[in-house]
Amino acid sequence: MEDNKEDTLVSYETSPLKAIKKKCIECFGGSQAEVKRCTGKSCPLYPYRFGTNPYRQQKQISDEQRAELVERMKKARMVKSEQRSCEE
């Protein structure tokens, strides 16, 4: 029997939060709008239905750290765009 990835709900590359989001969408017949209106608060997946962890705290970073991250991202994007242009 051949395993078809398209027929499976979640592939192994999917993160747990994305898998929960897909399961919630499947539960409501494929409607993301219905997932937003879900009233099943007793469901263990309810807090995670949007594909995020509501209990995870955001990092508090200083303005200096934010500026360093911005510069690092700019450099990474430049490197990536240079790699793409070399491939073409």
Q: Is residue 2 part of a domain?
A: no
Per-residue confidence (pLDDT) for residue 12, from 0 to 100: 66
* Total domains in the fold of the chain: 1
pTM equals 0.53
43 Rama sector, left if φ>0, alpha if ψ -120 to 50, beta otherwise = beta
- Check pLDDT > 60 for residue 3: no
49 lies in which domain range? Answer: 8-53+61-87
Q: Is residue 68 part of a domain?
A: yes
Q: Is residue 13 part of a domain?
A: yes
Per-residue confidence (pLDDT) for residue 39, from 0 to 100: 92
Q: Return the HEC string of the chain.
A: CCCCHHHCCCCCCCCHHHHHHHHHHHHCCCCHHHHHCCCCCCCCCHHHCCCCCCCCCCCCCCHHHHHHHHHHHHHHHHHHHHHHHHHC
Q: Is residue 72 part of a domain?
A: yes
User: Which tokens in the block code for residue 11?
Assistant: 């592939």
Q: What are the pLDDT digits (tens) for 18-33?
A: 999 999 999 999 999 9
82 against 11, higher pLDDT: 82
Per-residue confidence (pLDDT) for residue 1, from 0 to 100: 42
- Check pLDDT > 90 for residue 63: yes
Q: Is residue 70 part of a domain?
A: yes
Q: Is residue 3 part of a domain?
A: no
